[in-house]
Amino acid sequence: MSQLSGASLVSLVGAGPGDPELLTLKGYARIQGADVVVYDRLVSTAILDLAPPGTSRIFAGKAANHHRMPQDEINDTLVRLARGGRRVVRLKGGDPFIFGRGSEEAQHLARNGIPFEIVPGITAASGCAAYAGIPLTHRGISESIIFVTGQLRDGSLAHVDWESVRRGATTLVIYMGLANIERICRELIDSGLPPATPAAVIENGTLPDQRTVHATIASLPDRVGAESLRAPSLFVIGGVVDLAPALQWFAPAAITESGRL
Ligand code: SAH
């Protein structure tokens, strides 16, 4: 490890879901002290702009040509920059350890003897739900939460504890589900969830252009299609969604089957 002494600390920082005010003070301090910021697509410009003038910015997300910097290349870039003595901030949307591959990057840094720290962020589930007026838990309605990826690498949501979801005591939050929305809603119904189970999709949560579609798991695919929701969008499924009309506090649009909330 001796040849590695001198490598700078890499800070893996969660930028939160979008609203720049949801960045932590620690994340803010790390950005202010950065020589170089390596950032993902979901990091808002307002947060990037907190970096001092002269800070290098490296984009590691999916560009307009859909080319994504491969994970190996991101990993190697972090190591190279840190060995060059630059203070690196690896800025990720939400929380780095929730569907953010932050742990893979941390493993790579650890394997290469690079010092690192994790600065957690507000994950999309808590940010989007709060700004949509949906409590993720509520006494008497939901006592647990499942965060699941809708990317369905293995073809289904088979690992979800459906028994608990069926009892209605669990809120299901699905990240990255938009592309598979029909299959997901079909699987929810096939797994025994009543078709009338309340569901919401929140697009651009916490940002001024946030939109929320309220529906049921049966009608959600059509409703989301009709409103042309795009990524980033997050699904929240369960009885807590019905609390939203009374808990609206953030102005952007909420659209129900019958019109606006
Ligand atoms: N590490 C991130 C998640 C990255 S996966 C976190 O903790 O939030 C990317 C997915 O997160 C998106 O496909 C979407 O489902 C969700 N997401 C992130 N930001 C969002 C936002 N502002 N509004 C809605 N969904 C968001």
- Pocket-testing residue among 234, 236, 250, ligand 1, by greatest number of atoms within 8 A of Cβ: 234
Q: Which helix (H) or strand (E) holds 181?
A: helix 181-190
| 17 alpha carbon – ligand 1 mean position (Å) | 6
Structure token pair of residue 234: 């997050």
Decide: 99 in ligand 1 pocket, CB within 6 A: yes
Sheet holding 254-256, edge to edge: 144-149, 170-175, 233-237, 198-203, 211-216, 254-256, 259-260
**Both tokens of residue 243?**
């609390």
For residue 5, the model assigns a pLDDT of 55
| 87's tokens | 């203070």
Beta bridge partners of 46: none
User: 84-129, pLDDT tens digit by residue?
Assistant: 999 999 999 999 999 989 999 999 999 999 999 999 999 999 999 9
Distance, CA of 240 to CA of 216 (rounded, Å):
12
Could you give the residue numbers annotated as active site? 40, 62
As given in the structure block, the two tokens for residue 171 are 């809120």
**Pocket mutation for ligand 1, best pick of 175, 178, 212 (most atoms within 8 Å of C-beta):** 175
Closest atom of ligand 1 to CA, residue 207:
22
Q: Are 240 and 167 in contact (CB under 8 A)?
A: no
Torsion of CA 245, 227, 64, 42, to 10 degrees: 10
Hey, whose CA ends up nearest to atom 25 of ligand 1? Answer: 233
How far is the CA of 221 from the CAs of 19, 166, 179, 226, 227, in angstroms? Answer: 27, 20, 10, 9, 10
pLDDT, tens only, 189-214: 998 999 999 999 999 999 999 999 99
The pTM (predicted TM-score) of the whole model is 0.93
The rounded mean pLDDT for the chain is 92
Taking the centre of ligand 1 as the mean of its atom positions, its distance from the CA of residue 213, in whole angstroms, is 16
- Inter-CA distances, 260 with 1, 157, 252, Å: 60, 31, 10
Lowest mean pLDDT among 44-53, 57-66, 120-129: 57-66
Residue 3: band (very low, low, confident or very high) from pLDDT cuts 50, 70, 90: very low
Residue ID of nearest Cα to ligand 1 atom 9 = 176
Atom of ligand 1 lying closest to residue 16 CA: 8
**CA gap 186, 190 in Å, rounded:** 6
Domains of the chain (ranges; CATH) run 10-119 (3.40.1010.10), 124-260 (3.30.950.10)
Atom number, ligand 1, closest to the C-alpha of residue 95:
7
C-alpha to C-alpha distance for 145 and 189, rounded to whole angstroms:
18
Q: What is the pLDDT of residues 152-179, one digit of tens each?
A: 766 677 677 777 777 778 999 999 999 9
User: Using a 6 Å cutoff on CB, does residue 120 contact ligand 1?
Assistant: no
Distance (Å, rounded) from C-alpha 134 to C-alpha 141? 12
Q: CB of 27 closer than 6 A to ligand 1?
A: no
Distance CA 130, CA 52 (A): 30
